[in-house]
Amino acid sequence: MAEQSKDMKKVYEEQKHQQSRMQQKKQVYQEYVEQMTPKKNIWWQMIKAFIVGGLICTLGQLILNVATDQFGLDKETAGTWCSVILVLLSVLLTGFNLYQKLGAFAGAGALVPITGFANSVASPAIEYQKEGQVFGIGAKIFTIAGPVILYGIVTSWVLGLGYWIGKCFGVW
């Protein structure tokens, strides 16, 4: 019985020692993470995001105004041209590796929906073009944007089905 008690005490001491070592490793790792994590001023990041996002939206509004006032386009056609021009500019900036720099500077401000989405489609296409048209661009182009498209389509389908069923039963 005494021998069993000694063995239990030994096991307990060993477990205690292992826990102590794990705590030390966690502490060392936490210090390493804090040391390596870039320190950013959240307020300055928000200001930059607000300014860059606002400038992108202002550019979009400027395109809309020019299309309607100077070229006499209706709002829907002007909106289409605005989208096309913003996507084109985003893809060009991505191709010249400038959009990534803009994103690094502005953070979420560069993710204004249409330009950010265009960047997320163009980036993998440019990155994987060396692997060929099919296995490079074709297979990898939607690696980032694919889930967004998938869940957007599925959600719109489910909501449309719900709306149709509601119309059938006189709810809407």
| CA–CA dist 91, 99 (Å, integer) | 8
Dihedrals phi, psi of 117, to nearest 5 degrees:
-65, -45
Does residue 85 carry a pLDDT above 80? yes
Measured at the CA of 89, the angle between CA 75 and CA 139, to 5 degrees, comes to: 110
| CA–CA dist 147, 170 (Å, integer) | 34
Structure confidence by residue, pLDDT tens digits, 106-147: 988 888 878 888 888 888 888 888 888 888 888 887 787 788
- Collapsed DSSP state (helix, strand, coil) of residue 46: helix
Averaged pLDDT for residues 40-62:
94
| CA–CA dist 46, 50 (Å, integer) | 6
| CA–CA dist 114, 76 (Å, integer) | 16
What is the secondary structure of 55-70 as a DSSP string? Answer: HHHHHHHHHHHHHHHT
| CA–CA dist 16, 14 (Å, integer) | 5
Structure confidence by residue, pLDDT tens digits, 22-44: 899 899 999 888 888 888 889 99
Q: Where are the domains of the chain?
A: 42-141, 143-172
Selection from 86, 85, 81 nearest residue 67 by Cα? 81
| Dihedral, CA of residue 6, residue 9, residue 10 and residue 16, to nearest 10 | 180
Q: Looking at residue 137, what DSSP letter applies?
A: I
Question: Which amino acid makes up residue 105?
Answer: F
Does residue 1 carry a pLDDT above 90? no
- Confidence band (pLDDT; 50, 70, 90) for 154? very high
Token pair listed for 11: 């096991």
**Helical residues (DSSP H) of 37-112, grouped into ranges:** 42-69, 75-95, 99-106
